[in-house]
Amino acid sequence: MAAKAVVLHAAMLAATFVGAPAVAQTNDPNLSQKQIDCLSRRTAAGADCEDGAKNGGGQSGAGNAVGGAVFLPSLIVDLFPNPPARPTPAPTQPAPPKSPTSSAAPAPPPSGPITPPTGLNLAAPPRAVSGEFVPDEVLVTVAGDAGAVQRIATTLGLQVRSQRQSRLLGTTLVRYGIPDGRPVGVVLAQLAADGRTQRREPNHIYSLQQAAGIVNYAFERIALDSKQASGENVRIAVIDTGIDDANPALKGVIAGQFDAMPNVPIKKRDHGTSVDGLIAGVGVLEGMAPGAKIYHARAFEGGKSSMDVILSALDWAAEQDVRIINMSFVGPKNDLLGTACRNARALGMVLVAAAGNNGPKAPYGYPAAFDGVIAVTATDAKDGLMPQANRGAYVFISAPGVEMVAPSGTGSDVVTGTSFAAAIVSGAIANLIHAAPDRSADEIEKALAATAKDLGPKGRDNDFGYGLLDIKAAAAAKE
């Protein structure tokens, strides 16, 4: 019954977030129809406007609210898929593998009617925005104080919805609202022409990686003795859904909690509870690293979150002085997330992420595909690859993640997905740190790559990465 419930829930979520495609729009009365078409049809590939007009152009990645949209008050508005402007051609060669190595209160909007700016010289063509994103928001890092933030808003006809100093980005992060329906790609281009802005990104939407879901076989498969397993006092951050902290498997495990979306009611606690339990659960459903201290950031509801919320959770995690950050979610490439991950790694944190459950032909999943992040795919009890797992040169290592028993918001459940394989790896790494606290993130990554059990084609491959995690061999690699 539990497995059927998981399948039903997944189907309901999928139905919820299906939306009709929408076309770009602009309210600027000074733009001709041809200019509007140009703004909508340029792509990141660098096609010029004339060619785009002759060939019919592509569909803009921006969109409007459509029927069936889901509303998460004060945070995520009108979530729906936004198709890329044009299909991205597959690279002629595979990408090189990675080397083993509380928001402030929103400022009030400008008084009086908001007039979209005119006569701006665009420094770059509108971004070909891909992946799901909040359709009326952008994220911007700004050099300057609150006054500069508001002046940018006034100049470009935007609203300051939140702003805060980000530790991992090292600057002020502002969430601007677009009140007049301009496409996100157009606003990003207009912001690029303003020298007061540093980085400009869509507020991308990310999804937890749980597939439809028999005693936990992970200990045996990764060569970890369950009687000797320990992550005692190792601090681990988990960014996920809310959790059932009354679940017996999490008794004494949660050292701290942070709610990055306090205005959104918690409805589901299953995914986060399962991830925490697989990492450091106690009792009957013992995790990989009993004794570890989990710092849990709630950043997802209904399986979804936004870039702004995730960055807030990452900043909180960095402030807890954790050694490991588990990110069992996937979304589009976003430069702000990449910068945060790079800086977290520079601070000595080991970053572990789900490779994704979107199938062999899916695009790369982020944050897993960022350099310095350990991308984990899922295998079953016989070391076979989970069929719906993402593939690619970014996949770093394999770990059990198919049909495992884990604690959940309703007691326990059978779970499947790269989310849970990532949790197994995070717990295993906690064992390495417990045994040798001075081991650096680079040393741990190299040890995992050098000692993994080769699966599939000889050597590293796009399906299994370096192979199946072998924690016993990795622990010995330092000796």
Q: Which active-site residues does the annotation give?
A: 240, 271, 419
Find the helix or strand (DSSP H, E) in which 406 lies: strand 404-408
| CA–CA distance, 279 with 474 (Å, rounded to integer) | 18
Whether the CB-CB separation of 474 and 447 falls below 8 Å is answered with yes
| CA–CA distance, 418 with 208 (Å, rounded to integer) | 10
SS3 270: helix
| CA–CA distance, 153 with 108 (Å, rounded to integer) | 11
The CA-to-CA distance between both ends of the chain, in Å, stands at 47
Whether the CB-CB separation of 43 and 128 falls below 8 Å is answered with yes
Nearest to 418 by CA among 208, 223, 132: 208
Q: What Rg value do the Cα atoms of the chain yield, rounded?
A: 23
- Residues pairing with 325 in the sheet: 237, 351
| CA–CA distance, 327 with 373 (Å, rounded to integer) | 10
Whether the CB-CB separation of 190 and 156 falls below 8 Å is answered with yes
Half-sphere exposure (CA, 13 Å, Cβ side) for 324?
Answer: 35
| CA–CA distance, 473 with 431 (Å, rounded to integer) | 12
Task: Categorise residue 348: left if φ over 0, alpha if ψ from -120 to 50, beta otherwise.
Answer: left
Nearest to 194 by CA among 149, 232, 231: 149
Nearest to 276 by CA among 302, 294, 251: 294
Cα distances (angstroms) measured from residue 381 to each of 224, 377, 424? 15, 14, 14
Nearest to 217 by CA among 383, 448, 465, 433: 383
| CA–CA distance, 125 with 95 (Å, rounded to integer) | 26
> In this structure, what DSSP letter does residue 351 have?
E
Beta strands in 51-196 (DSSP E): 133-142, 159-166, 171-177
